[in-house]
């Protein structure tokens, strides 16, 4: 039997009482470890985090908690090699894809450590200046933000077991809110190992960080009104979560990051030989293949002027043809596998559904895998689809295939292009390609209404830009509507979610006694 990974709750390591779920190597099909959460005292786990962890964190200032983040980043950095091994074994990722998850998490923690230090040795934050409520400002109103007196429950998706924890944990811990993380079962090993290293290093006060691996059953039932819930995953699970009584009856604050049919848009007026076309083709191929397309921010739809449809298809196909797919341990491989055979089946099923409305413009499925058995490995080759019916093919605007699949869509004019982008019904990100600043700015402003982020690629930032799908802690991550309506990151804006805002109405001397603080 493989090792049964322990959960960390109520200040100690505890294994579940059941046989556990098996975590697999998605390339070799072998069992790696098991996780199990049955028989745990969830009530005690939440109470310990809320009371013991919360009190200890709130007793510290923002600057002190920022220092904790820096220490966590140092612990993770010291164990980085182990994380790369676990990621390759359990997520089937090549080194560059592991870096997005592991190093991306460490970078995000480090950024919040830096920003948190600027908040100083204060225990709450002010929000705006005091305003007068009576003559001569003898009675005033000042808004302050204090850490919520609850626990932050994170229910995470399988595609970012490292970054997915730390991009949420950094603002939560900086705010003074304890965390319980429930990673997606398929890839829980990396999350568990990172938490283990941080706990073993003794960086955090008891109860500040707990981990429960295995089934989510019963977790939501523990939530109380001052707790917050952050969910990342599919729209279907998000709908179940939203209907839970913790949300509907107790108003538990809930952030949802769900799936998204993101787009890339080439503005009109460019020649096939222009740099804009080259930049678009390169970015689309990159986005389709990083982490085998298992990024919530990946490009799923590519909008191009009708007259460039064939040329852009060829340019993207030329990039995709260079991608070698197979065993991530083999240095010749550029793209590893999906996280599981179940995900492989789901991608093939989604692809076949899209193919009923589209044609394949590049189909890597005919190519052999490198060093991997196609009957076992969850390796999916990239496929570029195309449609000549941009308005009628509803499915291409609605369906997210969570793998290396995207659809090329022609448009008539800019108005049509923008309308098609908005048909994602709310997306995490749209990238725009062109060289006319005014036209790009106008399109970006239009797209902002239904996108959490708009990423503009011009020739002058060709080598500098951070990538369509890369989530930078400086920028907002989340999108309206279909994308879940969530808001994460965006620098210190992320702290809002973990704070309660209250209006202090008092004489100026009382407001002064509240202390000078920095606004979020
Ligand atoms: P999922 O099946 O919805 O699972 C997400 C998490 O929810 C897992 O931890 C899962 O646990 C848990 N879960 C399942 N059923 C639950 C229930 N009834 N109550 C509470 N929790 C429950 O999603 P996934 O397949 O892991 O992730 C892929 C999806 O996530 C994609 O659609 C992708 O677009 C989206 N995603 C979005 C973002 C973003 O930031 N917007 C980021 C990454 C991924 P188990 O694993 O134990 O089943």
Ligand 1 within 6 A of 158 CB?
yes
- Ligand 1, atom 34: closest residue by C-alpha: 259
Decide if pLDDT at 520 tops 70.
Answer: no
CA–CA separation, 176 and 261 (whole Å): 34
Decide if pLDDT at 204 tops 90.
Answer: yes
Q: In Å, what is the CA distance from 424 to each residue of 21, 143, 174, 261, 418?
A: 35, 37, 34, 5, 11
Ligand 1 within 6 A of 216 CB?
yes
Domain that holds residue 457: 262-472
Decide if pLDDT at 84 tops 50.
Answer: yes
For the chain, the helix, strand and coil percentages under 3-state DSSP, each to the nearest 5: 40, 20, 35
In a domain, 308, yes or no: yes
Q: Which of 21, 157, 168, 223 to mutate to test the pocket of ligand 1 (most atoms within 8 A of CB)?
A: 157
- Ligand 1, atom 8: closest residue by C-alpha: 184
- Determine the atom of ligand 1 nearest the C-alpha atom of 186: 46
Catalytic residue numbers, as ranges: 257, 296
Give residue 184 CA to ligand 1 midpoint distance, Å.
7
Mean pLDDT, rounded, of the chain: 97
The pLDDT tens digits of the residues spanning 131-186 come to: 999 999 999 999 999 999 999 999 999 999 999 999 999 999 999 999 999 999 99
- Ligand 1, atom 26: closest residue by C-alpha: 157
- Strand pairing class (262-266; 499-506): unpaired
Ligand 1 within 6 A of 232 CB?
yes
Decide if pLDDT at 409 tops 70.
Answer: yes
Which of these three, 434, 450, 472, is where a domain ends?
A: 472
In a domain, 132, yes or no: yes
Q: What CATH number should be reported for the domain holding residue 219?
A: 3.40.605.10
Residue whose token pair is 């407001």:
511
Encoding tokens for residue 284? 């689309």
Burial class (CB in 10 A: 0-12, 13-18, 19+), 371: middle
DSSP 3-state of 51: helix
| In a shared domain, residues 327 and 367 | yes
Q: What is the pLDDT of residue 516?
A: 52
The pLDDT tens digits of the residues spanning 355-369 come to: 999 999 999 999 999
Q: Which of 181, 187, 234 to mutate to test the pocket of ligand 1 (most atoms within 8 A of CB)?
A: 234
CA–CA separation, 186 and 159 (whole Å): 9
Nearest partner of 397 among 349, 358, 363, judged by Cα? 358
- Determine the atom of ligand 1 nearest the C-alpha atom of 214: 47
pLDDT-based confidence at 485, cuts 50/70/90?
very high
| In a shared domain, residues 286 and 201 | no
CA–CA separation, 95 and 82 (whole Å): 12
* CB 311 within 8 Å of CB 297: no
Ligand 1 within 6 A of 100 CB?
no
Average pLDDT estimate for 240-251: 97
Ligand 1 within 6 A of 48 CB?
no
Encoding tokens for residue 94? 């090549």
Nearest partner of 340 among 233, 186, 162, 213, judged by Cα? 186
Decide if pLDDT at 323 tops 50.
Answer: yes
Average pLDDT estimate for 98-115: 98
| In a shared domain, residues 363 and 460 | yes
CA–CA separation, 163 and 250 (whole Å): 29
| In a shared domain, residues 53 and 155 | yes
pLDDT-based confidence at 519, cuts 50/70/90?
very low
Ligand 1 within 6 A of 159 CB?
yes
Q: How many structural domains compose the chain?
A: 2
| In a shared domain, residues 236 and 354 | no
Average pLDDT estimate for 396-410: 97
Compute the half-sphere exposure of residue 23: CA atoms within 13 Å on the CB side of its CA.
29
pLDDT-based confidence at 515, cuts 50/70/90?
confident
Q: Which residues, other chains included, contact 392 with Cβ-Cβ below 8 Å and sequence gap of 6+?
A: none
In a domain, 118, yes or no: yes
**From the CB of residue 208, how many other CB atoms can be counted at a distance below 10 Å?**
25
Give residue 238 CA to ligand 1 midpoint distance, Å.
8
Give residue 213 CA to ligand 1 midpoint distance, Å.
14
Q: What is the pLDDT of residue 225?
A: 98
CA–CA separation, 518 and 498 (whole Å): 16
Q: What CATH number should be reported for the domain holding residue 325?
A: 3.40.309.10
Ligand 1 within 6 A of 296 CB?
yes
The pLDDT tens digits of the residues spanning 253-290 come to: 999 999 899 999 999 999 999 999 999 999 999 999 99
| In a shared domain, residues 250 and 273 | no
């Amino acid at each position: 039997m493989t090792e049964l990974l322990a959960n960390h709750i109520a200040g100690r390591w505890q294994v579940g009482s059941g046989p556990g779920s098996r975590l697999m190597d998605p390339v070799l099909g072998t069992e790696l470890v098991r996780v199990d959460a049955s028989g745990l005292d969830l009530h005690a786990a939440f109470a310990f985090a809320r009371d013991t962890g919360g009190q200890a964190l709130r007793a510290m200032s923002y600057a002190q908690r920022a220092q904790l983040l820096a220490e966590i980043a140092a612990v993770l950095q010291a164990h980085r090699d182990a994380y790369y091994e676990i990621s390759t074994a359990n997520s089937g990722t090549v080194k560059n894809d592991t870096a997005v998850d592991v190093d991306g998490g460490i970078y995000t923690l480090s950024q919040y450590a830096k920003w948190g230090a600027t908040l100083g040795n204060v225990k709450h934050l002010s929000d705006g200046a005091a305003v007068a409520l009576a003559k001569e400002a003898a009675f005033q109103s000042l808004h302050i933000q204090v850490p919520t007196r609850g626990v932050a429950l994170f229910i995470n998706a399988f595609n970012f077991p490292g970054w997915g924890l730390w991009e949420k944990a950094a603002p939560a811990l900086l705010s003074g809110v304890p965390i319980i993380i429930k990673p997606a079962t398929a890839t829980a090993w990396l999350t568990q190992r990172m938490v283990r290293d941080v706990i073993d290093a003794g960086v955090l006060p008891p109860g500040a960080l707990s981990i429960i691996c295995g089934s989510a059953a019963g977790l939501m039932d523990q939530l109380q009104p001052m707790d917050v819930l952050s969910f990342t995953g599919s729209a279907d699970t998000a709908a179940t979560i939203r209907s839970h009584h913790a949300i509907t009856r107790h108003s538990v604050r809930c952030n949802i990051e769900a799936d998204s049919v993101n787009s890339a848009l080439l503005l009109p007026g460019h020649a096939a030989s222009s740099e804009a076309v080259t930049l678009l083709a390169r970015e689309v191929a990159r986005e389709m293949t990083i982490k085998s397309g298992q990024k919530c921010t990946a490009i799923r739809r590519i909008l191009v002027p009708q007259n460039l449809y064939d040329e852009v298809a060829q340019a993207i196909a030329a990039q995709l043809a260079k991608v070698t797919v197979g065993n991530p341990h083999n240095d010749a491989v550029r793209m590893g596998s999906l996280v599981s055979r179940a995900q492989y089946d789901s991608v093939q099923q989604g692809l076949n559904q899209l193919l009923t409305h589209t044609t394949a413009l590049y189909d890597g499925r005919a190519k052999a895998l490198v060093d991997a058995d196609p009957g076992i490995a969850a390796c999916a080759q990239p496929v570029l689809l195309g449609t000549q019916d941009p308005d009628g093919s509803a499915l291409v605007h609605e369906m997210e295939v969570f793998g290396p699949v995207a659809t090329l869509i022609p448009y008539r004019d800019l108005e049509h292009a923008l309308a098609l982008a908005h048909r994602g019904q709310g997306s995490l990100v749209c990238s725009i390609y062109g060289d006319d600043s005014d036209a790009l700015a106008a399109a970006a402003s239009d797209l902002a209404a239904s996108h959490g982020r708009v990423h503009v690629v011009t020739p002058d930032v060709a080598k500098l830009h951070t990538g369509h799908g890369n989530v930078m802690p400086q920028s907002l991550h989340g999108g309206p509507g279909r994308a879940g309506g969530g808001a994460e990151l965006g620098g210190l804006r992320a702290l809002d979610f973990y704070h309660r805002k209250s209006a202090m109405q008092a004489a100026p001397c009382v407001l002064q006694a509240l202390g000078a603080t920095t606004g979020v």
